[in-house]
Chain A
Amino acid sequence: MARVGVFVCWCGSNIAKTVDVEKVTEAASRLPHVVYSTHYKYMCSEPGQNLIKQAIDEHRLDRVVVASCSPRLHEPTFQRCISEAGLNPYMLEMANIREQCSWVHDDKEAATQKAIDLTAMAVAKAVRNEPLFQQEIPVTKKALVIGGGVAGIQAALDIADAGYQVVLVERTPSIGGRMAQYDKTFPTLDCAACILTPKMVDCASHPNIEIITYSEVEQVSGFVGNFDVTIRRRARSVDMKKCTGCGVCYEKCPVKLPSEFECGLGERRAIYVPFPQAVPNVPVIDREQCRWFTQEKCKACEKLCPAGAIAYDQEDELITDKFGAIVVATGFQTWDPSEYGNLGYGTHPDIITSLQFERLINASGPTDGKLVRPSDHTVPKNVVFLSCIGSRDDEHGYPYCSKVCCMYNAKHALLLKEKNHDAQAYVFYMDIRANGKGYEEFVRRAIEKYGAIYLRGRVSRVFPLGDKLIVRGVDTLAGKPVEIEADMVVLASAMEAQPDAKEMARKLGISTDEYNWFSEAHPKLRPVEVLTAGIYLAGACQYPKDIPDAVAQASGAAAKVVALFSKEHLLSEPTVAEVNEDTCVGCLLCKEVCPFTAIEPKTIYDKNGNPIKTVASVNEGLCHGCGTCVAACRSASMQLRGFKDDQLLAEVDALAFAE
């Protein structure tokens, strides 16, 4: 015979103001199996918890119902409390009479009745609760970091410094990411290369880090602590062990192409390193462009390579490895502003994006840092910067703010003046969003010390007239249309998710938002985790971020990984799905609907080893206990522990047959 204790909480006045807690306590005492009931002002406080422990002891309670707040808040608290008193923590049941009752009602009588009903339901379920036990899961203490930008680099370094093995996978031929393309960084004007390249080298030389570039994650399976990952190492066509990085091959390669790293403003060859400080400093052959691969001619690089490192016959390699945790740091791409027909991007060489401007002022860029117009290589005097190109504009681009553009516009305005004292920067803006440490001061500096002219308004049209670009817009503060004869126009195009973000999310079994940014587990309290345990986010793959935010989040993700690796075992949540193999017919509809790929077919054999039938089998490490499979199961063979049919139906009955 079950012995249930009911503990009704006032939550100060949060509950007691709208619910007559004494009446609830009294009603509960008359419920079947309830041997004790009481109420207290703060049940979650130490005296409140002691009250529960004492009652368990004195009244030999074997189940406890707490009628208080949402289990999201205090279920772990009360589970700990009753297990300290010797009960299995899953013998606890909570009735939420705060969020779902007192807070949303004002009729005290009705709210009290509802609280009584909710409590009766919890008691009915508690009577059918069974003890559940957590299982130990081993942890592979090796992390995978996907994406070798500054976020991935930081995460890899932090995890490696804590003493754990890290594999850093990067899609392009070198780590470094977007930050490697930038000139200086706001608000301190540190040179991006000066602060990034040492980190890249640290990564490469760290004994705990293995960098795999020109490679992509192909497949991910498994679960927290035990991910099985397949990585495709694309054929580099250069032997990494033999190559000395001398660079003769790309000096002599006859095929010239627009460089992706230079945003089309410079050239690369068919065999190339994307930039001189690349890590690893080993070229790759672009097989779609190389004359040997397209026409079976040339082989200049092979003939000239003093190390004999050219390997045309290299093939893609599939690497499989086990990881305990994954940090996703796949970054962003910039939006294509040719969507705005009136701004002329793509129709005139001097209408460029901000990223192109970074390359034009970068000392290692296509012009060696000399700011000149792409059209005629003259020095531009009037440069107009347009904010929010594709950001905060769901007509053309995205409704969100790309967050970093206000700051880099100020930086560009300032650097323009430093490059050429006669130059004049104009910045069209909607609002100036400079909310970071030293950010507002930095924008003021660009305006006050560097004379950047800020115009609040949008630009309606940019068009060439002679060798000038006419920028027509409005200054909404002056209430006047403005027209500027510019030499160059720079568009702060929005940050958007990687084109294959959705595909990556599918591989990882994580979710994305409506713009394909990866979704965090909780926007405020779990910003670096995703809903799939063991996978963490870092940097702009989640949402537009600047370098400080990306690096901070990367260290946060690394801390989560290190915390995970600090345990010998993980404890699995026992409230997961279980299969009744006797009644399961093996239709595997559950496998189809499972959002966590936690269900697999299993063959049952007789004692002679002959297969009898196929049934569903739940991987408890992957199962999140969402219950989708339970709803889909036609033979009621799938049950969720702690939420079985008889427990839930008992709750419904308690409500339906209440007095």
Chain B
Amino acid sequence: MKYAYYPGCSLHSTAKEYGLSARAVCRELGIELEEIPDWNCCGATSAHSLSRELSIALPLRNLAKAEEMGLDVLAPCAACFNRLRSANAAVKDDPALLESVNKTIGCDYKGSVNIVSLLGAINELGEETIKAHVKRELSGLKVACYYGCLLVRPPDVAGFDDPENPESLDRLMTSLGAEAVEWPYKTECCGASLSLSKPEVVVKLTHDILAMAKRAGANCIAAACPLCQGNLDLRQSQVEGRYGERFGLPIFYFTQLMGVAFGLPNAALGLKKHMVNPDPVLAGVGSR
């Protein structure tokens, strides 16, 4: 299986450990990733808040490049995934829009590319394939699987899993030997990019998520979105200070946990890049 890899801005910067672990895990699973040459920003929240045309043009340029490569696109970041798929859907039944956007970006995109999320692509491989790669069962790990708002919604754009009560990440964690705790905040909003403009909102929202995970008995959270991971990890000490409540919940990318289970070296998974130290939780893993 080979994909055109779209890392987006985060996986080379703030979410470097997501990029590292994603590539490492894909290598293990035989998913070949070829980075799209000269890719550009997906536009994220900023573009579609300003201009519809821009919010479609930016992702479409990346898709046009992937089309030249003759590959479908794999986008690990939930926001990128959402933007790429939204743009692709927007031009699908609107040839006039496609034509005008093509003119803007100087490309000749035909609309043949499909976009998958990393979680979706791994899901496709099936439980047995995952289990076959597990060298160190993640027993003792109680994971609150946190999908965030963009990965499975809106359902007609995301096109996989239940938009209200997704299960795919829970199933993945279970096949790694971890316990996926039942909790209701799987798709709750983390505050996303308000982290910069209105941090007090994010502190409140991330507090609610962390508190609920803790209440559900989790000892860590698995995320699938750089913004979610960033907010929950970076803001955690601030939340603890504000609410006078200690959480100590490491926030993993799900690929990092896969890497641990696959027996990959910590360095390859970027486990040193966390604000909340994951070592105490990981120390007990698999010792049974």
Contacts and interface: CB of A to CB of B under 8 A. Distances in A.
Given A463-B184, A470-B184, A342 B215 contact: no
Interface string B208-220: 0000000100000
B162 A341 contact: yes
16 contacts: A340-B164, A341-B162, A341-B164, A341-B165, A341-B166, A342-B164, A342-B165, A347-B182, A460-B164, A461-B164, A461-B184, A463-B183, A463-B184, A464-B184, A465-B215, A470-B184
A489 to B, nearest CB: 13
B166 to A, nearest CB: 8
Given A340-B164, A461-B164, A463-B183, 13 more contacts: A341-B162, A341-B164, A341-B165, A341-B166, A342-B164, A342-B165, A347-B182, A460-B164, A461-B184, A463-B184, A464-B184, A465-B215, A470-B184
Contacts of A341: 162, 164-166
B184 to A, nearest CB: 3
A347 B184 CA distance: 12
Contacts of B165: 341-342
Interface in A449-494: 460-461, 463-465, 470
Contacts of A470: 184
Contacts of B184: 461, 463-464, 470
Nearest to A339: B162
Interface in B143-189: 162, 164-166, 182-184
Contacts of B166: 341
Nearest to B212: A465
Interface of A: 340-342, 347, 460-461, 463-465, 470
Contacts of A460: 164
A342 B183 CA distance: 11
Nearest to A340: B164
A465 B183 CA distance: 10
A470 B165 CA distance: 16
Interface string B178-210: 000011100000000000000000000000000
A340 B164 CA distance: 8
Contacts of A347: 182
A460 B186 CA distance: 13
Contacts of A463: 183-184
A465 B214 CA distance: 12
Nearest to B185: A463
A341 B163 CA distance: 8
Closest 7 CB pairs of A and B: A341-B165, A463-B184, A342-B164, A341-B162, A341-B164, A342-B165, A461-B184
A123 to B, nearest CB: 51
Nearest to A464: B184
A278 B46 CA distance: 67
Most buried by A among B166, B182, B183, B184: B184
Nearest to A347: B182
Most buried by B among A342, A460, A464: A342
A341 B170 CA distance: 14
A384 B162 CA distance: 24
Contacts of A464: 184
Nearest to A343: B164
Contacts of B215: 465
Contacts of A342: 164-165
A464 B166 CA distance: 17
Contacts of A461: 164, 184
Nearest to B162: A341
A393 to B, nearest CB: 13
A465 B184 CA distance: 9
A565 to B, nearest CB: 54
Contacts of B182: 347
Contacts of B162: 341
Interface in B113-162: 162
A389 to B, nearest CB: 13
A463 B215 CA distance: 13
A390 to B, nearest CB: 14
Nearest to B165: A341
A112 B183 CA distance: 74
A465 B215 CA distance: 9
A470 B164 CA distance: 15
A210 B52 CA distance: 70
Nearest to A462: B184
B149 to A, nearest CB: 12
A467 to B, nearest CB: 13
A8 to B, nearest CB: 51
A342 B165 CA distance: 6
Nearest to B156: A395
A464 B212 CA distance: 11
A470 B182 CA distance: 15
B217 to A, nearest CB: 13
A341 B162 CA distance: 7
A7 B48 CA distance: 69
A463 B187 CA distance: 13
Most buried by B among A347, A463, A465: A463
A347 B167 CA distance: 14
B208 to A, nearest CB: 11
Contacts of A340: 164
A463 B186 CA distance: 12
Interface string B48-62: 000000000000000
Most buried by A among B162, B165, B183, B215: B165
B30 to A, nearest CB: 32
A35 B184 CA distance: 85
Most buried by B among A340, A341, A347: A341
A375 to B, nearest CB: 15
Nearest to A463: B184
A481 to B, nearest CB: 12
Nearest to B188: A461
A77 B136 CA distance: 87
A341 B165 CA distance: 5
A427 B215 CA distance: 28
A112 to B, nearest CB: 45
A251 to B, nearest CB: 40
A342 B182 CA distance: 12
A476 to B, nearest CB: 19
A348 to B, nearest CB: 10
Most buried by A among B164, B166, B215: B164
B1 to A, nearest CB: 29
A465 B182 CA distance: 11
A519 B184 CA distance: 42
A351 to B, nearest CB: 12
A547 B165 CA distance: 36
Contacts of B164: 340-342, 460-461
Nearest to A461: B184
Contacts of A465: 215
A68 to B, nearest CB: 47
A340 B162 CA distance: 9
B156 to A, nearest CB: 10
A341 B182 CA distance: 12
Nearest to B183: A463
Nearest to A460: B164
B170 to A, nearest CB: 12
B180 to A, nearest CB: 14
Contacts of B183: 463
B169 to A, nearest CB: 14
B230 to A, nearest CB: 24
B43 to A, nearest CB: 28
A219 B24 CA distance: 64
A129 to B, nearest CB: 53
A470 B208 CA distance: 14
B213 to A, nearest CB: 13
A470 B215 CA distance: 14
A346 to B, nearest CB: 11
A470 B212 CA distance: 12
Nearest to B167: A341
A460 B162 CA distance: 14
A406 to B, nearest CB: 24
Nearest to A395: B155
